[in-house]
Amino acid sequence: MQLPSPSLVVDRPALEHNIAAIGKTLVGPRLRPHVKAFKSTALARRLADAGHRTFTCATVREAEGMAAADLGDDLLIANEVVDLDQLARAAAIEAGVTLAVDSDQTIDRAASAGLRRVLIDVNVGLPRCGCAPGDAGRLADRARAAGLDVRGVMGYEGHLMMVHDRESRTRKVERAMELLLQASEAVGGDIVSAGGTGTYDTNTWANEIQAGTFVLGDTQYDTLDLPFRLALAVECTVLSINPDGWIVVNAGLKSFGMDHGNPTWPEGDVKFCSDEHTTMRCDDPSRWSIGDRTRLYPAHLDPTVAKHERMWLVDGDDVIDELAVDLRHW
Amino acid sequence: MQLPSPSLVVDRPALEHNIAAIGKTLVGPRLRPHVKAFKSTALARRLADAGHRTFTCATVREAEGMAAADLGDDLLIANEVVDLDQLARAAAIEAGVTLAVDSDQTIDRAASAGLRRVLIDVNVGLPRCGCAPGDAGRLADRARAAGLDVRGVMGYEGHLMMVHDRESRTRKVERAMELLLQASEAVGGDIVSAGGTGTYDTNTWANEIQAGTFVLGDTQYDTLDLPFRLALAVECTVLSINPDGWIVVNAGLKSFGMDHGNPTWPEGDVKFCSDEHTTMRCDDPSRWSIGDRTRLYPAHLDPTVAKHERMWLVDGDDVIDELAVDLRHW
Residue pairs between chains A and B whose CB atoms are closer than 8 Å: 156
- Residue-wise pLDDT for A8-55, tens only, equals 999 999 999 999 999 999 999 999 999 999 999 999 999 999 999 999
What pTM value is reported for the model?
0.98
> Which amino acid type is present at position B167?
E
Q: Is the dihedral of CA B155, B87, B44, B8 positive or negative?
A: negative
Q: Do the beta carbons of residue B138 and residue B120 sit within 8 Å? A: no
Please name every residue paired with B208 in a beta bridge, in sequence order, or none if there are none: B193
Per-residue pLDDT at B285: 87
Place A191 in a pLDDT band, splitting at 50, 70 and 90: very high
The secondary element (H helix, E strand) that includes residue B302 is: helix B301-305
Report the residue of A1, A135, A250, A289 to disrupt the B interface, i.e. the one with the largest count of B CBs within 10 Å.
Answer: A250
Q: Which domains does chain B have, with CATH numbers?
A: 12-215 (3.20.20.10), 232-324 (2.40.37.20)
**Are B79 and A273 within 8 A, CB to CB?**
no
End-to-end alpha carbon distance in chain A:
33
What is the greatest pairwise CA distance in chain B?
72
pLDDT at residue A170 greater than cutoff 90? yes
Residue B137: which of B145, B128, B129 has the closest Cα? B145
Q: Compute the mean pLDDT over every residue in chain A, rounded to the nearest whole number.
A: 97
Place A285 in a pLDDT band, splitting at 50, 70 and 90: confident
Mean pLDDT of A243-248: 93
Those residues of chain B that have pLDDT short of 70 are none
Q: Is the dihedral of CA B31, B257, B252, A209 positive or negative?
A: positive
- From the list A58, A253, A277, which residue is nearest B302 (CB)? A253
**Are A103 and B240 within 8 A, CB to CB?**
yes
The shortest C-alpha distance from A308 to chain B (Å) reads 7
**Are B273 and A254 within 8 A, CB to CB?**
no
Place A200 in a pLDDT band, splitting at 50, 70 and 90: very high
Buried residues in B234-253 as b, exposed as e (16+ CB within 10 A): bbbbbbbbbeeebbbbbbbb
- From the list B83, B254, B277, which residue is nearest A303 (CB)? B254
Residues of chain B contacting residue A254, judged by C-beta atoms under 8 Å apart: 302-303, 306
The shortest C-alpha distance from B184 to chain A (Å) reads 20
Per-residue pLDDT at B282: 87
Per-residue pLDDT at B111: 98
Per-residue pLDDT at B88: 98
**Are A128 and B274 within 8 A, CB to CB?**
yes
Q: Do the beta carbons of residue B118 and residue B154 sit within 8 Å? A: no
Classify residue A188 by burial, with Cβ atoms within 10 Å: 0-12, 13-18, 19+.
middle
Mean pLDDT of A305-309: 98
Residues of chain B contacting residue A128, judged by C-beta atoms under 8 Å apart: 240, 248, 274, 277, 279
Per-residue pLDDT at B95: 93
Q: Rounded to the nearest 10 degrees, what angle do helices B136-145 and B104-113 cross at?
A: 20
3-state secondary structure of A311: strand
**Are B240 and A102 within 8 A, CB to CB?**
yes
Please name every residue paired with A318 in a beta bridge, in sequence order, or none if there are none: A315
Residue B140: which of B107, B187, B76 has the closest Cα? B187
- Cα A21 from Cα B162, distance rounded (Å): 47
Virtual torsion, Cα B286, B291, B294, B295, nearest 10 deg: 150
Per-residue pLDDT at B284: 87
pLDDT at residue A284 greater than cutoff 90? no
Place A328 in a pLDDT band, splitting at 50, 70 and 90: very high
**Are A257 and B257 within 8 A, CB to CB?**
no
Side-chain-side CA neighbours of B9 within 13 Å: the count stands at 23
Classify residue B158 by burial, with Cβ atoms within 10 Å: 0-12, 13-18, 19+.
buried
Q: Do the beta carbons of residue B147 and residue B189 sit within 8 Å? A: no
Residue A297 DSSP one-character state: B
Per-residue pLDDT at B1: 84
**Are B258 and A254 within 8 A, CB to CB?**
no
Residue B176 DSSP one-character state: H
Residues in chain A, how many? Answer: 330
- When computed from its CA atoms, the radius of gyration of chain B, rounded to whole angstroms, is 21
pLDDT at residue A1 greater than cutoff 90? no
Report the residue of A259, A277, A302 to disrupt the B interface, i.e. the one with the largest count of B CBs within 10 Å.
Answer: A259
- From the list B248, B290, B302, which residue is nearest A105 (CB)? B290
pLDDT at residue A283 greater than cutoff 90? no
Alpha-carbon distances of A232 from A229, A322, A326, rounded to whole Å: 9, 14, 17
**Are A128 and B248 within 8 A, CB to CB?**
yes
Contacts for B49 with CB less than 8 Å, ≥ 6 apart? none
The shortest C-alpha distance from B296 to chain A (Å) reads 17
Residues of chain B contacting residue A58, judged by C-beta atoms under 8 Å apart: 275-276
- From the list B85, B129, B302, which residue is nearest A248 (CB)? B129
Place A282 in a pLDDT band, splitting at 50, 70 and 90: confident
Residues of chain B contacting residue A253, judged by C-beta atoms under 8 Å apart: 257, 259, 300, 302-303
Give the number of other CB atoms < 10 A from CB of residue A8. 25
Report the residue of A82, A103, A154, A256 to disrupt the B interface, i.e. the one with the largest count of B CBs within 10 Å.
Answer: A82
* Phi, psi (degrees; rounded to nearest 5) at B183: -60, -40
